Amino acid sequence: MFCRSLSARAFLVFIFVSSFVLACSGNEKNQSQTGSLFVKLSPKEGVYPQYSTFYITVEVNKNADLCYTIREKDNPKPCEREFVFKTKAEAGKPLTIPVIPEFNEGATSGVFPLKIFAKSKDNEEVIVVARYEIILSPFVNITPPGGYYQKDITVAIGCNKPCYLYYSTDGSEPKDKAEDGFILNVQNDIVLQVYAEDKSIGIKSDLIKQEYYIDKNPPNTNILGIENCSCISGCDKEPKEVVRCSKAVTVSLVTVDDKAPQSEIFWSVDGADPHDDVASFVESGGNTYRAKDSADIPIRDHTIIKFFSKDIAGNKEPVKTVIVLIGDKPFAYSVPQGGVFGRDSIPLKVKIYSIPQDALISYQVSFPDASTDFSNSCQSPCEITLDREGKNIVLFRAFKGGLYDSQRRADFIIDLSPPQVSLEPTSCFSDSGPISGTIKSNEEKVKVFWLICDKEIPGCSMETCSPTSPDILSGTAPVTNIVIDIPSYVFYCGIDLAGNKTDVKKADCEVSGRYIETFINQDNMDESETDASWGGGKLIIKRDSVVEEGSADTQGTGTVDIDVYGKIAVIVDRGAGVKLIDLSSPAAPGIISQIQDTQARSAKVWNDIVFVLTNSDLNAYDISNPRSPKKIGGVSLTELSIPQNQANQIKVWGRYVVVSAGNQVSVLVRVSHNQTTATRTVSFQRIGGINASGGGAASNQIDIFGNIVAVAEGSGGLRLISIERPSTPQGITSHSSFLSSGETASSVKIFFPYVAIGTNNGNIYLMSISEPSKVKNISSILLSSGIIINHIEHVGRFLFVADNQGIKIIDVGDVSNPYVVYQNNRGPSTYVYHYGDRLLVGDGNSGLFVFKVFEPFAKPYETSVFDNSVRRISLDGIVSGTSKSDKITLFDSLDPFNPKEITSVPSSDAYSYLIWGDKILIGEGDKLNIYKLLPFSSVNLLKQLDFGLIKSGVKIREIVSYGDYAIVAGEKSVFMLPLSD
């Protein structure tokens, strides 16, 4: 009897409850005694084949309060615990409890207990424990995944436990059978369908479908719009080589591929061969344009069009050339068309051709550096020999039958001398911390390479200026903020645009001094907690390098967004949908499922739901079971009044999704979530939006802090928007004067009260938004000219940056003097996400890479004392706060060794506060005071709310934001407070 019921009078034997619970087993758990409180569970404890939400029905014979947990180390009594859940049960009415057990990645089964503490109205108590073993369905691994490939591939199919695999390769119902795993040699297109069956109990996995296309043929690009023009030459070829049109035309380049659904077109109109590495080609002086599937080119004068296409499998067609003539005038052009030429090209032979071929050509060659020139005329083709160092300007035109061409110009820069490169400071010595080095050159656009070798590592060197090692860094001179933080040999060299190389130079650099806090003597240094060494009166410690730990190849064309759900990374894999990657073992991250939104652009997690933005839709997926995402809602962008292909990014803000939508800078979409024990749905409704500031500006990226949205608005620079009233967002200010000619804002990150703006020209600008209506420039740092800053993340005193060269870490402890502390030119990187002591990096080509960034300390150590006798501390952006009985004090903690007080707010009984954009909410006993930050160093009281008028003894203890609401928690009540009014 005692095993079934615990009277309220039994508190004297409470210490025996643990052993008592374990003693209650077998049938006694779910039995009852007439008149006594009993709890019945269905299904009973046992083994069940299932991997999803597990539903358990609870029945009681008396109305009772229930507390339950599924954690082995937790007890349901007392109820006031983090992982103990509360509910009420009515007599005779079955109550369903949804249980989502957690299993380690790779597990094939797992056991969890359901522990229920029931207490009736007459204080009768019962504790029930039932254990359930869940046999997990097998998980099918397919490597590589489906997609387009330009050569035959081998596909490996297996599962994570002994299983039978049933499959087909023609899309039909799987009937072929294999055991544990098999290999497919894919030489033709196949539609693979496969599922696994557990050998022991027969539980089956979901059916997996992967489509493979072997595409070995390049696309074909057609040129349209010249059908009514007369052919002059190459008329039997496709496309025709030379055509003459009577008036200006617009030609269209259209790519056709027999398999690949999408291709890119690359073209030039300056006579240079186009290149699919557009950024590198532009840096060296060419002009390549790019578009997907088709492009229109207006032709107003004689033009040489060169073009080719590349499909998503990587196949490229040869460069095609079409010369389009406008009107009857002859045409002259040079081969080569100009450029920079080094010693190996001398003497340089330049030929000038004409159409028609028998035209007379007159030309003049001038040498501005020598103030001399010569001229001549000849029949096409003319050959000119150039060998004089410096700029050679060739002006030429064609004459025929009284008609003459426009004068044309080609510049040939002959550079016979290698560039001169130097490392500054020349002494390369510091006894006060890291050296910030700069590699300069006497010429423009010199590519410099450098390698920093620890003096303690033998054999490290750079032998020639033809670097291939991944450890060698590169950039376009001048390269600044090269951090030398250990005694090193620095090797460096340069290559100019003409291809002339310097010899490899070597600098001997000595570094010691400030790395962590200053010690008075070595007695204050705990040798068990650091690898620092004491010598010469200085503490010397080496910084750990950032280490690549693991990666997952996702087979897409670039990872453009990353978010995290528990230990699962949710990434947008351009062209291949959304992938869920398990991070339980960072050294070996693995794809566990995917969402087939192949046009996905952005994805953000909201509790156990992920919102996915595509070219045309906004969708919602339930990822409570990450192995099996389920679509639970969606809406077309058209229904949200957003044009297709305009939206590029989403952020979650409380109950809203904020959409970065191109010309519509910011669109707020309200989320409605409905859930029962059987169904779950999400719907979307547009609430408000605001257009771009004009002048061609459009939203590239957004970031949110409190009620403020910061927008990287392209040519519009930085735009700040207030979403305090979601239905009517208001522009606060636009700031673009910091941009140089042709520069656009590409990325943005708020670390309040500062904001970082990245551009398409390798700059990061740091600004103060402490007074949002008056943005102030503070400093800037050029990472490398001509590269795009794709994404910025902030942690503590560091900015993590993904750009077209790789990843960089910037120390912004002194915002007025930022510097690069780490640089890894790993290749194009599109996104960075800080994840504990790791950095998740999206690759510009494909995949997710995991870097170990911080080495966790065995125990924390004190850097400085902010305040004392505090009730509460908090951190918002880089603003730390302390709450005392008489005031709230805010500190700038960007430098944790030297925090600076920003402002303080007097209070009679301060306990908690919340910074919400340009406002601060402070709880004082039963009252909530709302202040305006004017600017960040002072405050102005806007309103006071007295919750004591609603309920006595509230005593506000916590305030958190949820979009446009504040959740105010007191000792006796919790309130939802709308901040939009």
As a whole number, mean pLDDT of residues 212-228 equals: 94
Cβ neighbour number for residue 586 with a 10 Å cutoff? 18
Instruction: Name the pLDDT band for 865 (thresholds 50, 70, 90).
Output: low
Kindly report the backbone phi and psi dihedral angles of residue 708, in degrees, each rounded to the nearest multiple of 5, phi listed first: -115, 130
pLDDT over 90 (residue 467): no
Question: pTM to 2 decimals?
Answer: 0.48
Mean pLDDT of 923-949: 82
In the predicted structure, residue 474 carries a pLDDT above the cut 50: yes
Tell me the average pLDDT across 305-311.
95
Lowest mean pLDDT among 519-528, 726-735, 759-768, 885-894: 519-528
pLDDT score of 860 more than 60? no
Q: Residue 470 — very low, low, confident or very high, per pLDDT cuts 50/70/90?
A: low
Report the pLDDT value the prediction gives residue 192, as an integer from 0 to 100: 96
Q: What is the rounded CA–CA span in Å between residue 656 and residue 667?
A: 10
pLDDT higher at 645 or 818: 818
Q: Residue 862, Cβ neighbours under 10 Å: how many?
A: 7
Give pLDDT, residue 903: 81
Token reading at 260: 């690949």
Task: List all residues 6 or more positions away from 406 whose beta carbon is below 8 Å from its beta carbon.
Answer: 301, 302, 329, 397
Domain boundaries, the chain: 8-135, 140-214, 217-327, 329-416, 422-442+452-539, 872-978
- Tell me if 229 sits within 8 A of 243, measured CB to CB: yes
Quick check: 18 pLDDT over 70?
no
* Candidates 3.50.50.60, 2.60.40.2550, 3.10.20.740, 3.40.190.10; CATH matching 329-416: 2.60.40.2550
pLDDT beyond 70 at 359: yes
Q: Which residue has the higher pLDDT, 522 or 887?
A: 887
pLDDT higher than threshold 70 for residue 13? no
Q: What is the pLDDT of residues 503-541, one digit of tens each?
A: 999 999 988 754 433 343 444 444 444 444 444 444 444
| Residue 104 confidence (pLDDT) | 62
Query: What pLDDT sits at residue 866?
Result: 61
The angle subtended at Cα 430 by Cα 424 and Cα 432, nearest 5°, is: 135
Better-predicted residue by pLDDT, 541 or 709: 709
Mean pLDDT within 277-282 = 51
Return the pLDDT at 936.
65
Q: What is the mean pLDDT of residues 481-500?
A: 87
Say if residue 111's pLDDT is above 90.
Answer: no
Query: How many alpha carbons fall within 13 Å on the CB side of residue 131?
Result: 9
pLDDT, the chain, mean? 84
Q: What is the pLDDT of residue 280?
A: 45
Q: Is the pLDDT of residue 25 over 60?
A: no
Look at the domain 872-978 and name its fold. Methylamine Dehydrogenase; Chain H (2.130.10)
Strands (E) across 215-315 are located at 220-224, 230-233, 242-245, 249-256, 263-268, 289-292, 294-299, 303-311
Burial 134-172 (b: 16+ CB within 10 A, else e): bbbbbbbbbebbbbbbbeeeebebbbbbebbbbbebeee
The 10s digit of each residue's pLDDT in 753-791 is 899 999 999 999 999 998 888 999 999 999 988 899 999
* Residue scoring higher pLDDT (532 or 549): 549
Confidence band, pLDDT 50/70/90 cuts, at residue 214? very high
pLDDT score of 279 more than 60: no
**Mean of pLDDT values over 155-172:** 91
Place domain 217-327 in its CATH homologous superfamily.
Answer: Immunoglobulins (2.60.40.10)
Tell me the C-alpha distance between 335 and 273, whole Å.
Answer: 12
Mean pLDDT of the 843-860 span: 71
In the 8-state DSSP scheme, what is residue 339?
A: E
Whole-number pLDDT of residue 886: 80
CATH architecture of 8-135: Sandwich (2.60)
Q: Give the CATH H-level superfamily of domain 140-214.
A: Immunoglobulins (2.60.40.10)
For residue 529, what pLDDT is reported? Answer: 44
Contacts of 634 (CB under 8 A, 6+ apart): 617, 618, 619, 620, 684
Residue 629 predicted with pLDDT over 80: yes
pLDDT at 574 over 60: yes
State mean pLDDT over 783-802.
91
Q: Does 140-214 match 329-416 in CATH topology?
A: yes
Per-residue pLDDT for 49 more than 80? no
pLDDT grade, residue 854 (50/70/90)? low
- 977 or 883: which leads in pLDDT: 977
Residue entry with tokens 């039958």: 401
% residues pLDDT > 70 (the chain): 87
pLDDT above 70: residue 955: yes
Band of residue 485 on the pLDDT scale cut at 50, 70, 90: confident
pLDDT bucket at 27, cuts 50 / 70 / 90:
very low
pLDDT greater than 80 at residue 73: no
pLDDT for the residue numbered 17: 29
Separation CA 907–CA 365 (nearest Å):
81
- pLDDT of amino acid 352: 94
Q: How confident is the model at residue 235 (pLDDT cuts 50, 70, 90)?
A: very high
Q: Tell me the β-bridge partners of 162.
A: none
pLDDT surpassing 90 at residue 441: yes
Mean pLDDT (whole number) for 950-966: 85
In this prediction, residues 198-207 reach a mean pLDDT of: 87
